[in-house]
């Protein structure tokens, strides 16, 4: 915050000068990798793996090189291309979750790019018990045999 000196009626006053949001954002370093930071799978059945492709955009003037994409645990698997993504181009990182354990989950995936810069994305959801399958209807078999 900046302060300005103001003399009013012979008294020295300090007034706070606020910078606009546009000025603050212009001074902040630009994030090169623009990506949706989370995906909610919602309710999924136990034993049914799910995937989601996170699309990202290179908003900088230099290529983006994904050096590594690391999941927080072995139940989450990221897949990405090692090819550089040029300025104004887009790419994707596909994240899979194996849904082997019932209950809520939230897993992180850390993207490491361009000499150690990082960005973290998340997947979450709720793994539910599989719905029981009905036993075969034996009456249908009897009808087939009698015809």
In DSSP notation, 2-18 reads EEEEEEETTEEEEEEEP
Q: 66: exposed, middle or buried (C-beta count within 10 Å: 0-12, 13-18, 19+)?
A: buried
What kind of fold does domain 31-128 have according to CATH? Answer: Immunoglobulin-like (2.60.40)
Q: pLDDT at position 131, please?
A: 75
Q: What share of the chain is helix, strand, coil (3-state, %, to 5)?
A: 10, 55, 35
DSSP, collapsed to helix, strand or coil, labels residue 146 as helix
Q: Which residue has the tokens 């000499």?
A: 115
Phi–psi pair at 11, nearest 5 degrees: -105, 140
Q: What is the mean pLDDT of residues 18-41?
A: 70
Q: pLDDT at position 31, please?
A: 80
Phi–psi pair at 75, nearest 5 degrees: -80, -10
Position 140 confidence tier, pLDDT thresholds 50, 70, 90: low
Position 13 confidence tier, pLDDT thresholds 50, 70, 90: low
Position 20 confidence tier, pLDDT thresholds 50, 70, 90: very low
Q: Which of 51, 40, 42, 41 is nearest to 98 (CA)?
A: 51
Return the CA Rg of the chain. Answer: 27
Percent of the chain with pLDDT over 70: 69
Q: 69: exposed, middle or buried (C-beta count within 10 Å: 0-12, 13-18, 19+)?
A: buried
pTM equals 0.69
Flag whether pLDDT at 134 surpasses 70: no
Flag whether pLDDT at 147 surpasses 80: no
């Amino acid at each position: 915050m900046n302060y300005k000196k103001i003399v009013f009626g012979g008294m020295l006053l300090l007034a706070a000068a606020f910078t606009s949001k546009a000025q603050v954002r212009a001074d902040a370093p630009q994030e090169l990798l623009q990506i949706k930071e989370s995906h909610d799978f919602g309710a999924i059945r136990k034993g049914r793996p799910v995937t989601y492709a996170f699309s990202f955009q290179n908003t900088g003037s230099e290529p983006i090189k994904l050096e590594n994409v690391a999941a927080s645990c072995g139940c989450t698997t990221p897949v990405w291309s090692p090819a550089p993504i040029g300025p104004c181009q887009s790419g994707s990182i596909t994240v899979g979750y194996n849904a082997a354990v019932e209950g809520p989950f939230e897993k992180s995936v850390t993207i490491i790019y361009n000499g150690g810069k990082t960005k973290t994305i998340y997947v979450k959801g709720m793994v539910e018990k599989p719905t029981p399958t009905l036993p075969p209807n034996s009456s249908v078999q009897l009808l087939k045999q009698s015809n």
